[in-house]
Amino acid sequence: MPGRGAGEDRRARVGRAGESAAAEVYRRRGFRVVARNWRCPAGELDLVVSRGALLVFCEVKARTGLLLGPGYEAVTWRKQRKLRQLAELFLAVTRVPHGSLRFDVASVHVPRSGRPSVELYEDAF
């Protein structure tokens, strides 16, 4: 693709690895993945999971190092507002049955070798 560099490819790989690691943590906790990388003109939801009547919207922030700080620090109030808007759109479009809603943040460290580690912040905002 024109205009795409190696940095973007690496960033995409790190992001995918982080999302996969976060999804696996949810699966181990008994959740079912409802959507991954759900897109609409307003933006993207990284991960939507459910367990029983609980529906969780999870923003995944993956990093290879700590130079920029832990990933959860990147979820500012603006990003939180955007995620709430996207969740409303998701619910309107998909009509996924649910009871309660929750917004989580998965801060994932993706080392160059070895397995990613996931810190899950439940009910983050």
Q: Which residues pair with 38 in a beta bridge?
A: 45
* Sheet (strand 32-40) strand order: 32-40, 43-51, 54-63, 101-109, 117-121
Domain boundaries, the chain: 6-121
Query: What secondary structure does DSSP assign to 25-53, as a single string?
Result: HHHHTT-EEEEEEEEETTEEEEEEEEETT
CATH of domain 6-121: 3.40.1350.10
Q: Is the pTM of this model over 0.85?
A: yes
pLDDT in tens, the chain (125 residues): 444 556 668 888 899 999 999 999 999 999 999 999 999 999 999 999 999 999 999 999 999 887 777 788 889 999 999 999 999 999 999 999 899 999 999 999 998 888 999 999 999 99
Distance, in Å, from the CA atom of 98 to the CA atom of 118, rounded to the nearest integer, reads: 26
